[in-house]
Structure 1
Amino acid sequence: MPAAEESYGVNKVVDNICQLSPDLLTEACQHILTYLQGQTRGVDSAEISDRFQRAGVRLDHEALQNVIRFLMLTFRSAGKSVLSGDELVSRLEEGSNKWPKASLRVLHRLWSEHGASVRAQQEVQAVLSIGQLVDMQWKLGMAVSSDTCRSLNSPYVSLLLKIAEPSGHICHRSFEMTVPQFQNFHKQFKEMAAVMETV
């Protein structure tokens, strides 16, 4: 991406952040920092969006996602570079001259309070960079047409997995199994649970 386009993109995100009061920016950053410290399984952008709307801040979905990504990337980068609060603010000011002082004070304070915890969690995640299972739902159905079932009107199990990826995004994966496949899957889960209890 050319420097002019990158600068325009950063300035656009900063313009959107400028719409946030210090309290609203603090809340959004705390969601992100809580995730980066390993205390939650992801950043719930719908919750942040609802909070913004209740406060009268109207950002479309893409703009909100860009703000969240920018803040997350800023904190992750500060953690990897072992930046102090002052160094973080200096880098932000180098990237855009549109930052309001109140926003920079919020980011400085939050990073000074939580930066060490974020760095510690990054070291742990570097070792264990796999997704985490957040939720699993299943339902039993009857096959009307299928590539894997030999005959129609045979039962199947539909699984929906909710997974928190290392990036922080929560994704959904779904698949279907025959009843014998599901029974084997269940047996393997029970065996894993038994092994984990001994650890």
Structure 2
Amino acid sequence: MPAVEESYGVNKIVDNIGRLSPDLFTETRFQRDGVRLDDEALQNIIRFLLLTFRSATKSNLSGDDLVSRLEEGSGKWPKASLQVVQRLWTEQGALVHAQQEAQDMLSIGQLVDMQWKLGMAVSSDTCRSLNSPYVSLLLKIAEPSGQIRQRSFEMTVPQFQNFHKQFKEMAAVLETV
């Protein structure tokens, strides 16, 4: 299960969740119904549940599996609160999964290495314009999943000069941040 700040601890969060009736926990109507939790406690409950649901999404857990893991993580879970988590996961798990997939598609990798070389085509069966220089680029990108991917492509010299100019402009902007 997700790591939560050690200073606060999972058991303290579960204790706070246990202070809520199942209806309150479902509807998140804490203050209006007289249950007082400080801002830090509320933020930790929300953070814990978000991380728990994201972790369940990545592990492709069923509602029963999620409840089992939560019980293994802390023996302080009230049965009613676990039932609420299970019901929420059953009802909303597909939505969380879809959001996670969208986020994964939108996340970008980090450029790890870039190699380039200048070449000249001297013979080809399919290309008419020979004896013109080109630049071949090899990019190594660390994906958010941790996997390293390589991408290669070729450009004409003017295209590469424009690419280089844009990289310099990006570097100048990043230095001001």
TM-score category, normalised to shorter length: 0.5 to 0.7
Matches of 2:67 and 2:34 in 1, distance apart? 27
1:144-179 per-residue CA deviation (whole Å, 9 max, x = no partner) reads: xxxxxxxxxxxxxxxxxxxxxxxxxxxxxxxxxxxx
RMSD of the TM alignment (CA)? 2.2
Unaligned runs of 5+ in 2: 109-177
**Other structure's SS at 2:9 match:** helix
Residue pairs, 1:1-199, within 5 angstroms? 6=6, 9-28=9-28, 51-129=29-107
Matches of 2:82 and 2:7 in 1, distance apart? 18
The residue type equivalent to 2:21 in the other structure is S
- Flag the 1:105–1:7 CA change in 2: closer, same or farther, 3 A: farther
1:13/1:66 contact within 8 Å kept: yes
Partner of residue 158, structure 1:
none
Matches of 2:43 and 2:99 in 1, distance apart? 23
**Would you tell me which structure has more helix in proportion to its own residues?**
1
The residue type equivalent to 1:20 in the other structure is L
1:7/1:95 contact within 8 Å kept: no
1:16/1:63 contact within 8 Å kept: yes
Task: Give the deviation of 1:109 after TM superposition.
Answer: 1.2
The residue type equivalent to 2:27 in the other structure is E
Identity across the alignment (%): 78
**Other structure's SS at 1:98 match:** coil
Unaligned runs of 5+ in 1: 29-50, 131-199
Matches of 1:88 and 1:7 in 2, distance apart? 24
1:7/1:96 contact within 8 Å kept: no
1:113-152 per-residue CA deviation (whole Å, 9 max, x = no partner) reads: 221221122111111249xxxxxxxxxxxxxxxxxxxxxx
- Flag the 1:124–1:64 CA change in 2: closer, same or farther, 3 A: same
1:15/1:98 contact within 8 Å kept: yes
